[in-house]
Amino acid sequence: MDVMSTGVIAYYVLIASRDGLFTPIVSDLASVKDGIYSDPVPQAVILTAIVIGFSIQALMLVGVMKLSRDNPTLESNEIEKNNTP
């Protein structure tokens, strides 16, 4: 999950880093009306994706901690045998 999330975020950063785009807030060409400005919405989406990715990692870490506390082994056959009703 983390690798996929990082890949998507890196793809958005790659697209957003094109030449010729100016930030809509701070720019040296503030007097130019025909300047091509970058869209700030993808930045908000990426910040949200980072927060969601962090929460997913925290949830998976809790699951791994519970699994390791209940089954102190790395053998999947023994874990399945212990959790079979």
Q: What is the pLDDT of residue 26?
A: 58
User: In angstroms, how far is CA 2 from the centroid of its own chain?
Assistant: 7
pLDDT at 9 over 80: yes
Question: What does the pLDDT look like over 60-80, one tens digit per residue?
Answer: 999 989 888 888 888 888 888
Whether pTM exceeds 0.75: no
| Over residues 1-10, mean pLDDT | 84
Per-residue pLDDT tens digits for 11-52: 887 877 666 666 666 555 555 556 666 677 777 888 898 899
Question: For residue 10, is pLDDT > 80?
Answer: yes
In our burial notation (b when 16+ CB lie closer than 10 A, e otherwise), range 19-38 reads eeeeeeeeeeeeeeeeeeee
